[in-house]
Structure 1
Amino acid sequence: MLVIDKQVCAFPHRFVDLLMNLRLPLLALAIAAPVCATATTTQRLTIVNNGETVGSVVATVDGSHTGVDYAVSNNGRGPKHHEDVILNEHDLPISWTVQGTSLMGGDVAEAFHWSDGHATWISQAEQGESDGASPLLYVLNDTSPWAYGVYARALLRAPNQTLKTTPSGVMHLEKLQTVDLDPAGCKLRLDVYAIGGIDTKPLYVLLDRQGQLEASVDSQGTAIKAGCEAAARPIDELVANLEDLRLRHLREKLAHTYDKPVRISNVHVFDPGTGNVGPLQTVITFNHRITFVGDAPDKQGPADDEVVYDGEGGVLVPGLHDMHSHTTSDSGLNYIAAGVTSTRDMGNVNSFLLKLIPRIDSGELVGPRITPNGFMEGRSPYSARNGFIPATVEEAVKDVDWYADRGYFQIKIYNSMNPDWVAPIAAEAHHRGMRVTGHIPAFDSPDRAIRDGYDEITHINQLALGWVLKPGEDTRTTLRLTALARLADLDLDAPQVRATIELMMSRHIAHDPTMSIVERLLVSRAAQTPEPEAPVIDHMPITYSRYRKRTFVPSPTPELTAQYSAAVKKCLDIIKVLYDRGIRLLPGTDDTNGFSLHRELELYVKAGIPPAQVLRLATLGPEEYMGKSHQLGSIERGKLADFFLIAEDPTKDISAIRSPRLVMKGGVVFFPSEIYEAIGVRPFTTSPPQITRGAKEVAH
């Protein structure tokens, strides 16, 4: 919807104030001031997530200057900031500022400025400057759908639709198709583009025939021209189909499939049952399964019809299991490259997940084995927009049946659920043979949730905050993160702590700590490489690497920073207490990549759990919990061929799992170095193991 206004020409005061506060040079007035007496246009976009409105973009264009207000509210959080951008005659930004708050409420004060051949910028990630006769395309750290339109228009005017970017990298644009949409009388004819080069997956934008942004899709949802919200669903389907095509092509390129036995010789095998790494052995697989583990079964060497890999003295580890994933279309590549061959999805758009799982299982797409959990949320201003949001308890019980009919493993209850509904939901789930897990609903407590039917509690903060919250405090907000500062002074021998742990022990309650995401949120600080990201960040594209260098918590004072650091240490102490008391730990990440699971396991070792036992928690343990240990979790004859090869012994250094050289899932071979190169990540290993015989593959 376009609205035409008349506006007196004036340089935007908050834009000037921000530049002054950041001590950056102002533009010359001839460049910076908007053209007087021009009409302004206001473009409005609506952010839609899973069929519900969760935010908006309002952009006011006045000549070369645009002011943008962007706000998202979903799951009690979301970015909220104002942008000012000035473009030159080539549609390249010569000044761009962002001020407000990011996803979890951390402060944002970002600015880019170019004048007379000199560029300066400051963001949460870094501060820098460079010289050049013309400006390079600046990549925002705290971005918005409007920024995607800025990128696209600049790329449309560039040679080969490719531009170097600041602070680094190269961005390119590819037109994919033109579509006509007519939702509820809102006719749209749009050109669909993919922006690549700055992340591990393309960014999809839809422009009108004049090159103006009409829609885009990112992790916050689908941004769509106001008044055309009904187009969000067909746009989601369109982008899903485009991603599907891209991912199928990658599968054809990256999956190495053989119709003959695959022999991996000269390897040690980690046994999670004993915690030992065995002597040099041979492992043979055929038709998805392991057919042999032991000394070489023949004296004459491999048969002529086998494919042989030389493991070069490395260690084979059963495939890792992320017990707290939120699957995306492209997360499968990231997981497989990291040796994660199984995940438990803890909340998603139901239609998306039900379509994706069979396509991964059939081998059409690359990805781990996914066990789905049914997400159930209550209705409130802070609701997450996944799964079901029932209006009544009777509707909630029917939703449980919907999940049970489709074979879901568990019900996951979320923040806004009415605490009084937990017991009937849990009763129906148990009646249908399902377990119950989740957050502790706001104004509830871990002890009551357990008594009402929880079999498991997810997130270390959801467990521990029950010991420090005050009556009436609302964990539907980011308080569920910031209140962790109170853990710094928590006595783990306090009566309320002992009572909960004893209740968990008596009822065999499991715990999924997701410690890696809690650590990241609490210790990350602007312009610093946080410890959990250090092994990864320099390998990643610019969007990933810059986003990780930020302050997630709001306004951390020196006192709060010390409390957050102490809270991380206390959380590790809690994990060790739970382990020592025999409570089952389920390593999960609340993320979409294997890097975070690697960190999760490192943190358990840091807490004091032996590396071999940590590996058991991430391999055989989840399969025992879900009744699949007869198929998965260890490298034994007859089990599914899910494992990965690393160079060093992970029972001596758990971080050895960060560098798989080969990953096998269901007998299909993947080389992480190939996957990473295909998605724009610098590989963590130099080369895959050598094939010594029978390299011919089955055509896809």
Structure 2
Amino acid sequence: MRNYSAVVVTFICLISFSFSAFSQSPPKYIKGGQYFDVDTQQMVSNEGILVRGGRFYEIGDRPVPKNEGDYEVITLEDDEYILAGIVDVHAHFRMDAFGSEKENEIDEFKYNSLVYLANGVTSAFANGVYYPHMELAAKRLINSGKWAGPRIWASGPYFGSARPDWKDYSKEEIYEQVDHWVSLGVDGFKTKGGDPETVKHLVNRAHYHGLTVAGHLGSGYKGTTNAITAIDAGIDRVEHILGGFVLEPDQYAYPVWNKVDTTSADFKKTVHYYLDHNVYFDATINAPVYFTTLKEGFNYWKNEKGMFTPYVRNLLPPREEQKGSDLMDGLYKAMLRSTKAFYDAGGGDLITLGTDAPTHGYYLAGFGAHREMHAMVMAGIPERAVLKIASQNGANALGKGSLLGSIETGKLADLYVVKGNPLEDITNTRNVKLVMKSGEIYHPNKLLEQVKGNIGPESELEVEDWFKYPELMEEAGG
């Protein structure tokens, strides 16, 4: 059974913060190709981008360094395109035990982080974790330069019944917990299975610290919180389904939502509630497909299965033998049409990208950002809008819009370069040639080569040690 306090609590004490791992990276000069301007939502010919101090120093108007030899020069081809780093606001590093009981799921950060970064995800909000101390350890290992990975915005434990040891907490206890996790370095919070009182107190205290709250909500049935109630409480972001007035308070949410009529008065009223209160919607359209036999957009363009150990691969039957799910099939279709309707109603600036893809051995969450962008285009959202959703919208939703989300002077130099114009074919975002995070360059193939064959235990004898996280403890200095 999961235990937050026994072994993992020591991680905070074990991690030392030596920044000697960082070497002073030379300034970068990127010339050639085109870059995506999130304001105009168009590709712009790249006359030159200077990167200094990990930020975009100068863009356009032919910025040419006085001495090009002082810069690391990156020359792009005409068919290469620069996109702002992806901001995944619903990233999971979770992996299950490949067929064992649910409580054996773990949050695997070392290799998942490499996969995220290799796919151009430069910021990831780890949206609810089972082992929050490990999440913070991984964040610090990445920030110290000992590990490579996206910039992790930590969420701490779930607030609600999704936390294994959750109980009914008082207002004072919730405030105390929020204060505690903020002091340890959490960047935001997630409620899942929280009742209205929990949501209200969580939002109040998170906002006191200037942090945002995301919510996996319900219909109001059996102690869940409806989106309308959560919005009234001040929640910042709602996940999966808009919910609201469409749902019935005496029924579970998904079966009702799966039949949603986007032309109905209740749906339109719900949409305008979001717009009127400036609440973000994290659609996670592709998430149900992981639990179905649907194949839309779920082709492989890299050998994802090859990232797992042979032992893990041999445990898995062909995905075609996975049982179908009418509930998940219906949810996927409802997400497609409701997200498009939300966009058409004026919600384009409030939609965010979230992968919500725990790893079950067939796919890896880091590749999910490209599947989610593809799903949005399949829903009918224009490619130009999807590129903005994947970057600037997510940054805004996390309260980091002035720091991240676009190729703009003064912002952190987060980007990835792809071959082929994604405005013509969104699946071109999958052709990642180079990634930059805070001015540091990473080569996707080299990152994935480190992952190849390493995810999961090597044999049945190593399963128990796999769940004890020996690699993370070693890297953390324990």
TM-score normalized by the length of structure 2: 0.76
C-alpha distance after superposition, 1:143-171 (max 9, x if no partner)? xxxxxxxxxxxxxxxxxxxxxxxxxxxxx
Task: State how 1:70-89 maps to structure 2 within 5 Å.
Answer: none
Give the Å deviation of 1:323.
0.7
Asked whether 1:309 is paired with 2:69, we answer no
Asked whether 1:366 is paired with 2:132, we answer no
* Equivalent residue number for residue 72 of structure 1: none
* Equivalent residue number for residue 166 of structure 1: none
* Equivalent residue number for residue 419 of structure 1: 196
* Equivalent residue number for residue 279 of structure 1: 45
Amino acid of the structure 2 residue aligned with 1:358: R
Amino acid of the structure 2 residue aligned with 1:597: A
Equivalent-residue separation in structure 2 for 1:550 and 1:392 (angstroms) = 47
Task: State how 1:252-651 maps to structure 2 within 5 Å.
Answer: 259-294=25-60, 296-298=62-64, 303-313=68-78, 314-327=80-93, 328-330=108-110, 331-348=112-129, 349-378=131-160, 383-385=162-164, 391-406=169-184, 408-415=186-193, 417-440=194-217, 443=222, 444=224, 445-460=226-241, 463-464=242-243, 467-468=246-247, 471=250, 473=252, 483-484=254-255, 487=257, 489-524=259-294, 530-536=295-301, 538-541=303-306, 543=312, 546=316, 549=319, 556=325, 560=326, 565-583=329-347, 584-591=350-357, 593-651=365-423
Deviates more, 1:531-540 or 1:330-339: 531-540
* Equivalent residue number for residue 664 of structure 1: 436
Equivalent-residue separation in structure 1 for 2:50 and 2:318 (angstroms) = 40
Distance 1:365 1:289, change over 3 A: same
Distance 1:620 1:502, change over 3 A: closer
Report the identity percentage: 26
| Aligned partners of 1:536 and 1:595 also within 8 Å | no
Give the Å deviation of 1:490.
2.9
Equivalent-residue separation in structure 2 for 1:295 and 1:655 (angstroms) = 30
C-alpha distance after superposition, 1:511-545 (max 9, x if no partner)? 11111112332444xxxxx3333134645316469
Distance 1:499 1:366, change over 3 A: same
| Aligned partners of 2:283 and 2:353 also within 8 Å | yes
Distance 1:321 1:552, change over 3 A: farther
| Aligned partners of 2:122 and 2:437 also within 8 Å | yes
Amino acid of the structure 2 residue aligned with 1:336: L
Give the Å deviation of 1:593.
3.0
Amino acid of the structure 1 residue aligned with 2:272: E
Amino acid of the structure 1 residue aligned with 2:2: N
| Aligned partners of 1:522 and 1:568 also within 8 Å | no
Equivalent-residue separation in structure 2 for 1:308 and 1:279 (angstroms) = 17
| Aligned partners of 1:378 and 1:414 also within 8 Å | yes
Amino acid of the structure 2 residue aligned with 1:471: D
Equivalent-residue separation in structure 2 for 1:585 and 1:283 (angstroms) = 28
Distance 1:396 1:643, change over 3 A: same
| Aligned partners of 1:376 and 1:389 also within 8 Å | no
3-state SS of paired residue (1:49)? coil
Distance 1:638 1:495, change over 3 A: closer
Give the Å deviation of 1:469.
5.1
* Equivalent residue number for residue 2 of structure 2: 49
TM-score normalized by the length of structure 1: 0.54
**Higher RCO, 1 vs 2 (CA within 8 Å, ≥6 residues apart):** 2
Give the Å deviation of 1:580.
2.1
C-alpha distance after superposition, 1:588-621 (max 9, x if no partner)? 0113633111111111111111111111111122
| Aligned partners of 2:49 and 2:59 also within 8 Å | yes
Equivalent-residue separation in structure 2 for 1:283 and 1:492 (angstroms) = 43
| Aligned partners of 2:288 and 2:329 also within 8 Å | no
Which has the larger share of strand?
1
3-state SS of paired residue (1:424)? helix
Equivalent-residue separation in structure 2 for 1:551 and 1:469 (angstroms) = 34
Give the Å deviation of 1:298.
4.6
3-state SS of paired residue (1:436)? strand
3-state SS of paired residue (1:371)? strand
| Aligned partners of 1:514 and 1:590 also within 8 Å | yes
Distance 1:680 1:303, change over 3 A: same
Equivalent-residue separation in structure 1 for 2:211 and 2:10 (angstroms) = 31
Equivalent-residue separation in structure 1 for 2:150 and 2:313 (angstroms) = 22
Give the Å deviation of 1:574.
0.4
| Aligned partners of 2:122 and 2:151 also within 8 Å | yes
Give the Å deviation of 1:293.
2.4
3-state SS of paired residue (1:589)? coil
Amino acid of the structure 2 residue aligned with 1:360: I
Aligned residue pairs, count: 416
Distance 1:359 1:566, change over 3 A: closer
Which has the larger share of helix?
2
Equivalent-residue separation in structure 2 for 1:427 and 1:539 (angstroms) = 41
Equivalent-residue separation in structure 1 for 2:276 and 2:250 (angstroms) = 26
